Structure 1
Amino acid sequence: MINPQALYIHIPFCDSICAYCDFYKMMAKPALKARYIDALCAEIDMHAALFSDLKTVYIGGGTPLAVGKPLFEQLLRKIAACVDVGRLTEYTVEVNPHDIKPEILPLLRFYGITRVNIGVESFNALKLKILGRNHDKQSAVEAIKRLKEAGFANIGVDLIYGVDYRDSFRKVKADLRHAVKLGISHISLYALIIEEKTILKQRLDKGLYRPCPDDREAVIYRKAVRYLERKGFNRYEMSNFAKPGFESRHNCVYWNNENYLGLGAGAAGYLDDVRYTNVRHLETYISAVQSGKNAYGERVELALADKMKEEVILGLRKTEGINIKTFANKYNKDITVVFPVIDELLAKGLLRKEGDNLFIPEDKVFLSNEVLVNFI
């Protein structure tokens, strides 16, 4: 078995439900949160033998700190007992602005957290209202300042554009300007996607919400890329921008199609050619773990053809794209023989080749789905 390079831990609890979110999440009473953390710690114990090569740990959700400080510390204590935290190159916790209270900061420092990613989404009051966020601009600013004062240099923020029909680059630029001014080192900039079974989808179906036109989203994206480049941020993946040296090493494991372990209800993983997702049902998850069993809701063993497809689809998300020699060494195949459509995409200008790298040109990134569909 190939030991995973990365560990993702999912905590599905939130203090409120955002209008756009389709991740596995819920609001829950303290007793259920306690049972879940107990089960999660048991699942960590079950897989501890796989942790020897870990380079990154990412605790996400949901909202991890929605479990409260005592339960969150219980989890951090378990991780510290099973993972050599000192050997990690990155240890991330996902937070919301209201989570960054003075009593939380020493906890994060003590247990070796090196990176904090904040779900800001916007500094604009109207956008935050549309998205159903429960913080405001001031709380986001204060959270970032507290983290910096506590010594955290690696701080990322998530921002969303195309929030509704009134969105514009002027508004998005204002969000980006705030993040840059606050000294953020990493920005994830996502176009709003209206997912099924979300509050925004319900509003859309009732005619109570008007989405941002696709052509305007494309303009916003292109201008945002140029703005962030001028501010010293490198676009290293379609939606991710970083100051030099602050790229998300954990997420790069995903895009490089390397092995990673996902623990917790709804968490996904990729181990030894198997992609799996843990069951998205708390009681079923807890019962499985208490019985010493994996809590798979879905498990798919990939054939060689599937692995190569995923290598290309994930790799083309990166600005640098796919290295032809790396592909050949990994699969003992010529990528252009496996995927003859590459020559056609190169001729159309939807792919570009420089040296040994194949990548989507910057002016075609917003049309990336038209490229990637050729490899499905």
Structure 2
Amino acid sequence: MIKAAYLHIPFCEHICYYCDFNKVYLQGQPVDDYIQAIEQEMKLTLREFPSDKLETIFVGGGTPTSLNEQQLDRFCEGINKNLPKAADVEFTFEANPGDLSKEKLQILKDAGVNRISLGVQTFNDHLLTKIGRAHRAKDVYQTVDNIKSIGFDNISIDLIYSLPTQTLKDFEESLNEAFSLDLPHYSAYSLIIEPKTVFYNLLRKGKLPTPGEDIEARMYEVLMEKMESRGLHQYEISNFSKYGYESRHNLVYWNNESYYGFGAGAHSYVNGIRRSNIGPLKKYIDCINNEELPIRENHQVTPSEQMEEEMFLGLRKTAGVSISKFNEKFNRDPLELFSNEINELASKKWIEVNDDNIYLTKQGRLLGNEVFQMFLGVID
């Protein structure tokens, strides 16, 4: 059963120095043709892989709200016309502070969008400049006010820590500013420097002064402490919320469930096959115009890979992996299947096992990637 859909808008008015997502500068791009193509992809996909009701829809990018009012209205209309939605669907749009007018917000509200995710990253204006962001801290406050005034109450913001030249004090100040907004959901990620980004090129030249692993680890500890003290529970390594405001869409990924991916460069997981779409816009649009699904690569996930993914994706959640659900899904006991790995990690106090869950300890969350790698390529 397919529960979720992700739609990708690759257009940006500014390119951030750390971003490696499929994106292009907005100016001069065939935006209207792209909107038509992604609507056609929805039709082609649902014809081949139907679904009764989607529980979550997430529009990301790029910058989805870089579309003008008419384009945004048309895009939302295409979603509502082609994707079957559950009555209580979680419908999220990503946006940047400063480019989300009340007119655009009203279009989203009228289209049934009920969750907004803002890419804030930091409240330090100097750091915002250093990472290539166009907005400033004042834009965040104004944008959140606008979002609330239109009637949205499910609002999330993203933060990034371990930024170049960022100090622990800088990060704590950003957290305090974020808390002043009194939002129900916060995500915070450590900076990962990816190939083909501005930061990657600077790092190779020795011109990217990062805080270092020790400061990064301390930032993460402070993050967990401050979130807990504010009554925001950590339900995943990088995500914190008031109860009832967890991101249902992201939980689909971490629960290793099926989802559609629409748009240039989007990924999907349908009928046990992980697919990636064609990335370049012209090739994507041409493929759709030929009535073909724009698939760049297919990978049939083997039963062994499914079980390994169930472990390292599920361990991202603070609740961890349910032993009984794993048994029910695969007819295998994870405690037997991964006995060596679980015993080793438990001896290091990186994971714990209770009656029905295998989960990371607080120390284990600091070393999450090392834990996850233990479950790769284990099953013959």
TM-score range with shorter-chain normalisation? over 0.9
Q: Which AA in structure 2 matches 1:295?
A: P
- Do structure 1's residue 70 and structure 2's residue 92 form an aligned pair? no
In 2, Cα distance between equivalents of 1:348 and 1:155: 37
Larger CA deviation: 310-319 vs 343-352: 343-352
In 1, Cα distance between equivalents of 2:86 and 2:149: 22
TM-score normalised to the size of structure 2?
Answer: 0.95
> Which residue pairs with 2:321 in the alignment?
322
TM-score normalised to the size of structure 1?
Answer: 0.96
Distance 1:84 1:301, change over 3 A: closer
Aligned-residue offset at 1:180: 1.4
Larger CA deviation: 64-73 vs 150-159: 64-73
> Which residue pairs with 1:122 in the alignment?
122
In 1, Cα distance between equivalents of 2:364 and 2:167: 20
Q: Deviations over 1:217-271 (max 9, x none)?
A: 0011011101111111111100011111110000000000001000001101101
- The alignment yields a C-alpha RMSD, in angstroms, of 1.3
Paired residues of 2:265 and 2:277 also in contact (CA < 8 A): yes
Paired residues of 1:195 and 1:201 also in contact (CA < 8 A): yes
Q: The residue matched to 1:36 in structure 2 has which SS?
A: helix
Q: Which AA in structure 1 matches 2:136?
A: D
Runs of 4+ residues deviating >6 angstroms: none
Distance 1:190 1:170, change over 3 A: same
Q: The residue matched to 2:120 in structure 1 has which SS?
A: strand
Number of residues of Structure 1 aligned to a counterpart in Structure 2:
373
Q: The residue matched to 1:319 in structure 2 has which SS?
A: coil
Q: Deviations over 1:95-124 (max 9, x none)?
A: 001222121121111001110000011110
Q: Which AA in structure 2 matches 1:141?
A: Y
Aligned-residue offset at 1:84: 4.2
In 1, Cα distance between equivalents of 2:85 and 2:97: 25
Aligned-residue offset at 1:30: 4.9
Q: The residue matched to 1:19 in structure 2 has which SS?
A: coil
* Identical counterparts, % of pairs: 36
Q: The residue matched to 1:104 in structure 2 has which SS?
A: helix
In 2, Cα distance between equivalents of 1:33 and 1:88: 30
From 41, 44, 48, give the equivalent of 1:43.
41
In 2, Cα distance between equivalents of 1:303 and 1:48: 24
Paired residues of 1:30 and 1:67 also in contact (CA < 8 A): no
Paired residues of 1:8 and 1:263 also in contact (CA < 8 A): yes
- Do structure 1's residue 12 and structure 2's residue 10 form an aligned pair? yes
In 2, Cα distance between equivalents of 1:150 and 1:74: 20
Aligned-residue offset at 1:142: 0.4
> Which residue pairs with 2:175 in the alignment?
176
Q: Which AA in structure 2 matches 1:14?
A: C
Paired residues of 2:166 and 2:210 also in contact (CA < 8 A): no
Aligned-residue offset at 1:69: 1.7
> Which residue pairs with 2:357 in the alignment?
357
Q: Deviations over 1:136-183 (max 9, x none)?
A: 01111100111112111100000011002x323321121111121112
> Which residue pairs with 2:290 in the alignment?
291
Aligned-residue offset at 1:86: 5.8
Larger CA deviation: 228-237 vs 81-90: 81-90
- Do structure 1's residue 312 and structure 2's residue 307 form an aligned pair? no
> Which residue pairs with 2:344 in the alignment?
344
In 2, Cα distance between equivalents of 1:315 and 1:364: 14
Q: Which AA in structure 1 matches 2:352?
A: R
Paired residues of 2:157 and 2:185 also in contact (CA < 8 A): yes
> Which residue pairs with 1:194 in the alignment?
193
> Which residue pairs with 1:239 in the alignment?
238
> Which residue pairs with 1:212 in the alignment?
211
Q: The residue matched to 1:99 in structure 2 has which SS?
A: coil
Q: The residue matched to 1:277 in structure 2 has which SS?
A: strand
